[in-house]
Structure 1
Amino acid sequence: MTSSSSIISALGAGSGIDMVGLAESLANAQFQQRNDRLEMRQEDLEAKISAAADLRGNLSLLASAFGDRIRAGDLAIKPELSGLQVATPSSPAGRTGSGTYSLEVHQLAAAQSLTSTAFTSKDDVLGEGTLRLRFGAVDGTSFSASSAAPIEIQIAAGATLNDVAAAINGANAGVSAYLADTGNGVQLVLKGSEGRESGFVVEVDGAGGDLGTLAWNPNSAGDPSRLVNTSRDALFEVDGVAYQRSSNNTGEIAPGLQLNLLGTNTGQPSTISFSKPVKAIADAMADFVSALNEIASKLEAATAPIGGELASDPGARALKRALSTFAGQVVMPTAANDSPRTLADIGLATERKGGFRLDSAQLQKMLDKDPAGVAAMFTTGIHGVYSSLDRLSRAMSRSTDPGSLAGSIARYEALAIDARETSSELAEKQEALRASLVARFAKTESRISAAQSTLSYLQAQIRVWEGGND
């Protein structure tokens, strides 16, 4: 209530009408219909945003969870080693193997290690000059240079033993350096890479002081005690076939098989075989179909012609179309003709109302026929079940695409912002009208009060006149 109306009420004057309440009622009536429409509009937009976000979130969660399940490795055909554990077998990404292999490791790959003579301290000054590293095979008292280019490292005047180690590491020459305090002095330790051809000799040019003592070459009476380890290749046999590798990580040596060699077992071969995760795949498919049905059920309710929040939404329609063709989509384009290529091949069936079911007989038939082909569909490579699901999830989460769920959410959020801004503008206009009506009614109330005062005065005068006539 305004101050003017309060004063009038306090004086007991005025029309007796609640002018402030009347102004507010009139302002509300003027804007009620538009406010109601805006409120309904905002509620509708919030429902659309919630429904689209729920669908997008469920799809993203399914893709993420399925990816985690695949990365756990229990759906893949994996190589396993029995016998002496001389290696860790694995399959390259996107590759699967089959069959059995025998493995016999005769020699592990090793890196050359070379020490310096002992120094008093890491801060001993060695002088200046050039260190040259030449690479090749060191064998007994001989050195055979490889085709690798020599590396030259400049050592500045006043460089300490510690500075020399830092300069070698900074050259990134494939040789690392560190200082070892043996108790009998500090030695510079140089270590190369694995492989016979990664051995090295050290040459020093223009040396002053003790820098020249770092030189080492078995061809020129180099101190043999400084050679701690000799570089060598890995030597092993798979099914009796001899292999030689410069690293203990062999790369793919048979279809779907690579090794990280750990030890030797000459005369005691180990056996490599491949697991068949038939039950794990069947369980994963059952879970996958169940999760797809949850999404399909929510999508069906959200797109219902009557009462569906996303009945005419382009993003929801796009997802519905994608799910309707999902089972027949080729997810393994590189698979052989007799191997599974679609989800329908491994039992995913689409029902008439848009849901899914698992054809267990079809899945078992394909698992019996081609377990490797089925397992190949459950990898994190560029092809497969996860890749197709992930692409669909990403497409539905692309906010710049108006035909995706994220695009729909962005559009509805923009409309909701406009609706809130319009609501704020109407509230300001409604308040302005109320204030204007209060001011106008206050003036009217003042005039009515003045008129009533005049009337009361005249009535009193008339009564005086009438009394005087008596």
Structure 2
Amino acid sequence: MPGSTTTSATSSIIATLGAGSGIDFAGLAQNLAAASFAPRIDRNTVRAETVERQISAASTLKSSLLQLSSSIGDRVRSGDLSSQPLIGNASVATVSRGTLSGRGSYSLEVTRLAASQVLSSPAFASAAAPTGSGTLTFTFGTVSGSSFAADPGQSPATVTVPSGASLADVAAAINAAGIGLNAYVASGTSGAHLMLKGKEGAANGFTITASETLGEEGLAALAWNPASAPAQLTATAVDAAFKLDGLAMTRASNTVADLVPGLNLILAGTNPGAPTTIRFSDPGAAVSTFMADLVSALNELAGELNTQTDPLSGDLARDDGARAMRRALSQLAGTVVMPGAAGGEPATLADLGLATNRDGTFRLDTARLTATQKAAPEGVAAMFTTGLFGVYASFDKLSRRLTSATDPGTLAGSLTRLNAQKKALTEEAGKLAEAQEKLRARLAVQFSGTEGRVTRSKSTLSFLQNQIDAWNAKAN
């Protein structure tokens, strides 16, 4: 191949350069090529090192901001920064915080838990026993003894039973219909039974009417109403009954949301005549600790940012993303995080004691924090929720905005630009190395001619010197 021949010839030339002349033409070609490209290579190297430092600095700031936001989210979700309900007798109910902040204490006495209607069909030989075909219509309402009152707010539901269906097929069809009933086949002492279970609450009882297909009768065995077969009713649907601070209440479900502001209940047991107490915890100490930790974390971030944006020595002194972050942090204390706060309620981080120093660092104004906690404890608790507004939501929005890759004025935008520069510098370094090698090879070829001339001159000089020496010897 021509390329291989040229390379071989060049290598041969380089190997023999200086062999006859005594001059290191190979080294000379190498040094001249290196000297020619040294300024550009040095500039590329310095620029690449600078870009690498800038990438590292921007990545560190971005990571620190995201980590801070994530840590705040974890702390808020733990629940200790807002008032949490506590119950004296945990066997009666599970308590959790509602959508609002709660306070005070309450007594709870549960006399009855909400229950679902459970219905058992007549016995069949097995789950595979045929049932006949047609339709089953379920009407929802209240079962009371042998009477039934349909609920006008719930429409009847119809389930089609196909030809050749078995008891197991009927259960599957009811479940697939999604009408709020759970159906399964259970084997009892007398045979297989279709078991039907409805939703909790007195109004979620049900009756069944059957329409049979001519020639495939049998489905009527699954029809039911309380007057015709009361023995098939194994459990009646009822509402939960309880007293809160002595006031009698009922609910269709054992899950009770926002019974009072900030309180959710899941009723689990009864305690007639022995009310238990529900109270709300005071998160004041936890909030004070959190704010102190937040100030420390922000100062670490601000310190790194100040170092990287120093006008004389900072790697990100003129970086748009770092500047945007600096501006955002300087405005952090005064940013409204609770836009819907009423007059006198805390709305900014400054209300929680966050204060900004002239150098961009932060301090905790404990006097202001204490005053806010004393004047508006519910407002403080409301700032530490996972809703659309509050401390976590504000930091989450801030971190997302400052690390958005689609905005060239953010840290992520800076990283996109810097990584593009790094790629370009790497490509340029490769091109410079290739060009330098080509120059060295070209000089080596040129020097090979010089080598031949010098060698021939030395040979001629040696011949003449020998002749002169011979003449001088004869003369003597």
State if a TM-score over 0.5 links the two structures: yes
1:66 aligns with 2:66: no
Q: Which amino acid aligns with 2:377?
A: P
Alpha carbons 2:62, 2:411 under 8 Å: kept? yes
Structure 2 residue aligned with 1:141, among 137, 146, 166?
146
Question: What is the Cα deviation at residue 429 of structure 1?
Answer: 1.1
Distance 2:66 2:17 in 1: 66
Partner of 2:205: 199
Q: Give the letter for the 1:277 counterpart.
A: P
Aligned-pair distance for 1:350?
1.0
Alpha-carbon shift at residue 211 of structure 1 (Å) = 2.9
Query: Following the alignment from structure 1 to structure 2, what is the Cα–Cα distance between the partners of residues 185 and 466?
Result: 139
Shift of 1:316: 1.1
C-alpha distance in 2 between matches for 1:18 and 1:193: 97
The SS at the match of 1:341 is coil
Which residue number in structure 1 is paired with residue 334 of structure 2? Answer: 328
Measured in 2, the distance between the counterparts of 1:184 and 1:465 equals: 142
> What code does the residue aligned with 2:223 have?
A
Partner Cα distance (2:459, 2:126) in 1: 112
What residue is the counterpart of 1:98 in the other structure? 103
- The CA deviation at 1:55 is 1.0
State the Cα distance separating 1:209 from its structure 2 match.
Answer: 4.8
Instruction: Name the structure 2 match of 1:445.
Output: 451
**Paired AA for residue 107 in structure 1:** R
CA contact (8 A) 2:333 2:356 kept: yes
In the alignment, structure 1 residue 260 sits paired with structure 2 residue 266 = yes
Match of 1:241 among 236, 247, 263: 247
Local SS of the residue matching 2:269: coil
Deviation at 1:253, TM superposition (A): 2.0
In the TM superposition, what is the alpha-carbon distance from 1:462 to its structure 2 partner? 7.2
* Separation in structure 1 between the aligned mates of residue 466 and residue 157 of structure 2, nearest angstrom: 123
Classify the secondary structure of the residue corresponding to 1:317.
Answer: helix
Check conservation: 1:289, 1:358, Cα contact below 8 A.
Answer: yes
Q: In the superposition, relative to structure 1, how do residues 459 and 169 fare at CA in structure 2: closer, same or farther (>3 Å)?
A: same
Instruction: Return the offset for 1:299.
Output: 0.7
Q: Please tell me whether the aligned partners of residues 102 and 269 of structure 1 are also in contact (alpha carbons under 8 angstroms).
A: yes
Asked whether 1:280 is paired with 2:286, we answer yes
> Are 2:222 and 1:217 aligned?
no
Q: Structure 1 pair 8/35, CA: closer, same or farther in 2 (3 Å)?
A: closer
How many Å separate the matches in 2 of 1:427 and 1:321?
Answer: 43
2:121 and 2:471 mapped to 1: Cα distance? Answer: 137
Equivalent residue number for residue 160 of structure 1: 166
What does the per-residue CA deviation read over 1:40-61, in whole Å, with 9 as the maximum and x for residues that have no partner? 1111111111111111111111
Q: Which moved more, 1:426-435 or 1:237-246?
A: 237-246
Q: Are 1:110 and 2:115 an aligned pair?
A: yes
Q: Which amino acid aligns with 1:160?
A: S
Whether the 8 Å CA contact 2:13–2:445 is kept in 1: the answer is no
Partners in 1 of 2:187 and 2:35 — Cα distance? 91
Q: Distance in 1 between matches of 2:295 and 2:420?
A: 35
Give, in angstroms, the shift of residue 271 of structure 1: 2.0
In 1, the alpha carbon distance for the partners of 2:51 and 2:178 equals 60
Q: CA deviation at 1:459?
A: 5.9
Q: Which amino acid aligns with 1:214?
A: L
Q: 1:447 to 1:143 in 2, by over 3 A?
A: farther
* Residues 66-86 of structure 1, C-alpha deviations (whole Å, 9 max, x = no match): 111111111110122225742
User: Structure 1, residues 281-304: CA drift from partner, whole Å, max 9, x if none?
Assistant: 111111111101100111111111
Task: Say if 2:370 is the partner of 1:364.
Answer: yes
Q: What is the aligned length? A: 464
Moved more, 249-258 or 21-30: 249-258
Is the deviation greater in 124-133 or in 276-285? 124-133
1:28 deviates by 0.9
Deviates more, 1:59-68 or 1:339-348: 339-348
Question: 3-state DSSP class of the match of 2:274?
Answer: coil
TM-score of the aligned structures, taking structure 1 as reference length: 0.93
Partner of 1:143, secondary structure, is: strand
Query: Given residue 4 of structure 1, which amino acid in structure 2 is its aligned partner?
Result: I
Residue 15 of structure 2 aligns with which residue? 6
> Cα offset for 1:307?
0.5
Question: 2:127 matched to 1:119?
Answer: no
2:191 to 173, 177, 185: 185
How far apart, in 1, do the equivalents of 2:443 and 2:269 lie?
Answer: 95
Separation (CA, whole Å) in 2 of partners of 1:436 and 1:353: 59
1:340 maps to a residue whose letter is P
One-letter code aligned to 1:136: G
Contact 2:212 2:218 in 1 (8 A): no
Amino acid at match of 2:437: E
Percent of matched pairs sharing the same residue: 48
Letter matched to residue 445 of structure 2? A
| Selected match of 1:39 from 35, 45, 58 | 45
CA RMSD of aligned residues (A): 2.2
Matched, 1:381 2:396: no
How far apart are the structure 2 equivalents of 1:84 and 1:290? Answer: 38
Distance 1:190 1:371 in 2: 49
| Corresponding letter in the other structure for 1:77 | S
Moved more, 335-344 or 391-400: 335-344
Q: Which amino acid aligns with 1:122?
A: A
What CA distance in whole angstroms lies between the structure 2 residues aligned with 1:326 and 1:421? 41
* Contact 2:138–2:157 (8 Å) recurs in 1: yes
Deviation at 1:201?
1.4
Given that residues 2 and 20 in structure 1 are in contact (C-alpha distance below 8 angstroms), is that contact kept between their aligned partners in structure 2? no
Q: Structure 1: how far apart are the matches of 2:415 and 2:25?
A: 46
Equivalent-residue separation in structure 2 for 1:448 and 1:83 (angstroms): 108
Whether 1:418 aligns to 2:427 is no
1:157 partner SS: coil
Letter in 2 for 1:127: G
